[in-house]
Structure 1
Amino acid sequence: MSAIITEKPELTILYQDQHLVAIDKPAGLFVHRSFLDKDEKYFALQLLRDHLGQYVYPVHRLDKPTSGVLLFALSEHVARDINSAFQEKQMHKTYYALTRGHLEGEGRIEHPIKIKLDKIGDKFVNKDQEAKDAITDYQSVATATLPIPLGKYSSVRYSLIKLSPQTGRRHQIRRHLAHLRHPIIGDVNYGDNKQNPFFYQHFGVKRLMLHAQSLSFVHPILKREITIEAEFDEQWLKVFHTLGWSLSVI
């Protein structure tokens, strides 16, 4: 489980008009209250509501440990329009992940995902549901090798992967990369229990290395293409520097 945020985060507004607002959600911040958050003090929804002085409507979600573009609507009818666009696959999302091993080339992961249920929050949900189709496109952007033995391997290998999910299943990217045997670094649910502690010790970074870098869509009111981007934070840049990667590879 990721660490609890004890100091009030400063929200970065990435985009704002009369209808929509997007923030750069930091890793470790819940989108809104849930049964998992009994010890949490801060939530993106409430922080943004307080900052704007008005009600906001979440139209999608990012897992607590994932950073990046998080979009909200400023009215119910716009929220409905954006939710419909997500359901109709008209919202184009780009993520970046740091994974274990060298994942080369590009491809499409088509691996059905069974709904992952929470013991408390989903206790009344049918636990015998069939796996649902899940599709993620990926492209290898960069690879690196550290000449440091770990476990049965003589070196440590990493890949920077660009991902575009075509469906929106829970933990889809995390589960799909784990399915390829290239789990995301820092993933405590689907990751490598040798790589994660090594990464923290060597890089001083203890988080899920998954970033929602951009979101593109046709604005439901303005009827024009909007692309919202979130830059890589200091922790990502620290990793890039240590692995010898430049932002020019992105």
Structure 2
Amino acid sequence: MPDKTIIFEDKSVLVVSKPRGLLTVAAKDKKKQKNLLDELKGKYEAERVRLRPVNRIDRDTSGLVIFAKTKEAFMAIMQKQRLDKIEKTYLAIVTGILKKKEGNIKIPLPSRENPKVKIPAKTTYQVLREFRIVKASLIEARITSGKYHQIRKHFRILDHALLMDRDYMERNEYVKYQKIVPFRHFFLHSAEMDFTHPITGKKMHFRAELPEEFAEILKILK
């Protein structure tokens, strides 16, 4: 597994590029699971710094994760997130060839805490590349709300689930693609993030390079 990469750090904020295959934090009932927060803790606890994750991405998602290094910074960032002021840009490979090459998906999604409650969610996307032989597409997706599995769920609703996403692809479709693609997990990368620094008020832009594994797959797909 590739190592984590520190993208930015100051006294208030730490921005890290997480590799695919690593949890952001351990689940409450599985504290021994390998995760990014624990890998960082040793260094920062020695400096008496408590890292607080601002955002979390799935185990099989790579890319940008922000940690606040102080309580003040954490509270300020959380307030901005509630106001939808943090824009995140992802790259993903989805099944099929989309008829609309760009658009907005405005479909409320169930709350993780209470599935009966629907929460507004918007994903803005554009198709960057099409792979006609395997029938798949590379898309860029921009979100500010960041609901649980938002991008994965929105593209499933469009009948273009992330390629090899076992949780959201139809079983027969998954089996079909198993025979024609050389991987067994989805590709979703948190590539860019824009937000205002919680202490200085400075507008900041962060970018995480595409993982080598993702880049190699794009060369293979046709």
**Aligned-residue offset at 1:162:** 0.6
Equivalent position amino acid for 2:105 in 1? I
Q: Measure the CA separation in 2 of the matches of 1:23 and 1:210.
A: 16
**8 Å Cα contact 2:127/2:139 also seen in 1:** yes
Given candidates 50, 73, 77, the residue that maps to 2:42 is 50
Deviations 1:119-160 (A, max 9, x none): xxxxxxx56x332211111111110112xxxxxxxxx30111
Deviations 1:55-74 (A, max 9, x none): 21111111222111000010
Equivalent position amino acid for 2:145 in 1? T
**8 Å Cα contact 2:88/2:143 also seen in 1:** yes
**8 Å Cα contact 2:193/2:207 also seen in 1:** yes
Q: Measure the CA separation in 2 of the matches of 1:203 and 1:15.
A: 35
**Aligned-residue offset at 1:186:** 2.3
Q: Measure the CA separation in 2 of the matches of 1:188 and 1:55.
A: 35
Q: Tell me what 1:22 maps to.
A: 15
**8 Å Cα contact 1:89/1:166 also seen in 2:** yes
1:141 is aligned to 2:131: no
Q: CA RMSD in A?
A: 2.1
Question: How do 1:1-250 and structure 2 match up within 5 A?
Answer: 10-35=3-28, 37=30, 40=33, 42-52=34-44, 53=46, 54-103=49-98, 104-116=100-112, 129-146=116-133, 156-196=134-174, 202-243=180-221
**8 Å Cα contact 2:84/2:145 also seen in 1:** yes
Q: For residues 96 and 222 of structure 1, do their structure 2 counterparts lie closer, same or farther at Cα, with a shift above 3 Å needed?
A: same
Q: For residues 198 and 218 of structure 1, do their structure 2 counterparts lie closer, same or farther at Cα, with a shift above 3 Å needed?
A: same
Equivalent position amino acid for 1:90 in 2? K
**8 Å Cα contact 1:199/1:205 also seen in 2:** no
Deviations 1:169-191 (A, max 9, x none): 21111100000010001212112
Q: Measure the CA separation in 2 of the matches of 1:232 and 1:196.
A: 25
Q: Mean Cα displacement is larger for which, 185-194 or 104-113?
A: 185-194
Q: Measure the CA separation in 2 of the matches of 1:203 and 1:97.
A: 15
Q: TM-score, normalised by structure 1?
A: 0.79
Identity across aligned pairs (percent)?
A: 28
Aligned residues: 218
Q: Measure the CA separation in 2 of the matches of 1:36 and 1:193.
A: 29
**Aligned-residue offset at 1:78:** 0.2
Q: For residues 180 and 200 of structure 1, do their structure 2 counterparts lie closer, same or farther at Cα, with a shift above 3 Å needed?
A: same
Q: Residue 205 of structure 1 aligns to a residue in which SS?
A: coil
Q: Measure the CA separation in 2 of the matches of 1:197 and 1:222.
A: 51
Q: Tell me what 1:121 maps to.
A: none
**Aligned-residue offset at 1:33:** 1.8
The gaps in structure 2 that reach 5 residues or longer are none
Between structures 1 and 2, the one with greater strand share: 2
Q: For residues 227 and 199 of structure 1, do their structure 2 counterparts lie closer, same or farther at Cα, with a shift above 3 Å needed?
A: farther
Deviations 1:41-61 (A, max 9, x none): x21111112244432111111
Q: For residues 234 and 200 of structure 1, do their structure 2 counterparts lie closer, same or farther at Cα, with a shift above 3 Å needed?
A: farther
